Structure 1
Amino acid sequence: MASVRPYGHFTHAVVRGIPESFGRKAEGGETDGECGTDLAKAQRQFGVLTGALRQKVGLQLIEIPPDPELPESWRIEDVAVIQGDTALITRPWKQQRRSEAEAVRRVLSELNLTVVEMGGEEGGSGGATLEGSDVLFTGKEFFVGISSHTNHRGAEVLADTFRDFAVSTVPVCGGARLKNVCSMGGPNTIVIGNSEGAKKTLRMMEQLTDHHYEVLTVPEDTAANCIYIRGASKMDFLLHRPTEECPNSTPAFQKLTDYTLLPTACSEASKLGGALSSFCLLINRKLQI
């Protein structure tokens, strides 16, 4: 497993700007009035997130310009799964989203990653759908959420790509995607929401794994999506939802006394089913840190 890096060690973050079409449906281009999104606020929140990744955590930031023709392209996590030197370009469930991968593919190739394609509708991966927000990598194994966005064939393609790791599938019982209800809060810590669906998902994950993980339960499912990064200064950073968005979960995060906590707003993206991790692809391009 030559490409394995210490969990949470990253050097780069690839992000994609918020387009003017933010909040619109991918098909038809009409504004989804039920979402009530605020474009300017979303852009400000995106700026705070990217500023934290660059200035506080110390990552090299690569920003792909926004594309108004791709209203969901800010959700960059969905179009690639990266581990070590390998990047799997996924196939989102919505046909209209699949062109989002073109710009991401170019950037990952420029970073000299080995880019693996899921392929077209025909052939070995025919019928497969996979979105990165349904994929949780723990540093030891992959969990793939089976949801309306990701199917078993997509999980099989991921398993074939990352053969050094066990890949387990779990039905998504809470939230639209697996990482709406859980994320990694450190090398051995799973952060999980407190809803019945989230707890059911965790029980299934525990039944499928041979590894032991600490569990940090947060009262609000939306708070369970965090971004953990081990900085170059060997500090542990955790980007998480702020008190004004998830007031009941702040005490749980404050238990992580050895971490540098970075409250980061995500309210506008969450109206569209997004989360903090939706905004970035994290990459380690150093052989050693």
Structure 2
Amino acid sequence: MKCFVGTALGNETTFLGKTEAMRQALKELDLNIVDMSDQNATLDGGDVLFTGREFFVGLSKRTNQRGAEILADAFKDYAVSTVPVTDGLHLKSFCSMGGPGLIVIGSSEPAQKALKIMQQMSDHRYDKLTVPDDLAANTIYMNLPNKGHVLLHCTPDEFPDSAKVFEKLKDHMLIPVSNMEKAKVDGALTCCSILINKKAKV
């Protein structure tokens, strides 16, 4: 398994400590770390959607073509396709994976346009779950031992119409998680999560 460690956009001094802390944590998990040292490359994790079969990389204010190329070079076994992000902070501002082969997508015109591009670029067929609110499409899916399909999603207080849509996922354990405070600074559920499919050596 490979993980990226790079310099975040913005105040480098502020992020340097966090980057080194993350690097140390990944080393302790014995993961292969890929440094993105090209000063012309930008790649935001919120623009990277891994479906389990391929990568979609949003080209946004935070991610450019060079960043997508470096990701493609690091993960040569997977197809990497770019998707223009014309509205919103990044790709995961309106989509995420809701399970194996299931894309959760917002209903806005930019979200639906991005989905159409992903469908055209891919050799795989994905199911989709469309929610009325773009921000509600940012979910966290986990396949956990003894739990099965688990999905963290928006609360009914935040997006009542979207929360009702998630109830269609009868084979998922649904866990509503409030994102109200993080949303004030453009944060989403996936912004606060790093999922690693590996047991730590204790």
TM range, smaller chain:
over 0.9
Q: Is the 8 A contact 1:91 1:130 kept in 2?
A: no
Structure with bigger RCO (C-alpha 8 Å, 6+ apart): 1
Alignment of 1:28-107 (within 5 A): 85-96=1-12, 98-99=15-16, 100-107=18-25
Q: Is the 8 A contact 1:90 1:131 kept in 2?
A: no
Give a deviation string over 1:265-287, Cα, whole Å, max 9, x none.
0111111111101111100115x
Equivalent residue, structure 2, for 1:254: 167
Q: State the shift of 1:202 in Å.
A: 0.6
Q: Is the 8 A contact 1:183 1:225 kept in 2?
A: yes
Q: Give the TM-score normalised by structure 1.
A: 0.66
Equivalent residue, structure 2, for 1:138: 51
Equivalent residue, structure 2, for 1:76: none
Q: State the shift of 1:173 in Å.
A: 2.8
Equivalent residue, structure 1, for 2:32: 114
Partner SS state of residue 27, structure 2: helix
Distance in 2 between residues matched to 1:169 and 1:231, nearest whole Å:
30
- Between the aligned residues of both structures, percent identity stands at 50
For structure 2, which runs of at least 5 residues remain unmatched after alignment?
Answer: none
For structure 1, which runs of at least 5 residues remain unmatched after alignment?
Answer: 1-84, 120-124
Partner SS state of residue 116, structure 2: helix
Equivalent residue, structure 2, for 1:51: none
Give a deviation string over 1:86-118, Cα, whole Å, max 9, x none.
111134332435413111000000110011101
Alignment of 1:1-289 (within 5 A): 85-96=1-12, 98-99=15-16, 100-119=18-37, 125-285=38-198
Q: Is the 8 A contact 1:127 1:153 kept in 2?
A: yes
Partner SS state of residue 160, structure 2: coil
Partner SS state of residue 87, structure 1: strand
Q: Is the 8 A contact 1:219 1:249 kept in 2?
A: yes
Taking a change above 3 Å as real, the CA distance of residues 108 and 144 of structure 1, as seen in their structure-2 partners, is same
Give a deviation string over 1:166-201, Cα, whole Å, max 9, x none.
000111133111001000000100000011111111
CA RMSD of superposed structures (Å): 1.2
Distance in 2 between residues matched to 1:248 and 1:91, nearest whole Å:
38
Distance in 1 between residues matched to 2:75 and 2:15, nearest whole Å:
22
Aligned amino acid, residue 180 of structure 1: S
Distance in 2 between residues matched to 1:113 and 1:275, nearest whole Å:
26
The number of aligned residues is: 197
Distance in 1 between residues matched to 2:6 and 2:126, nearest whole Å:
27
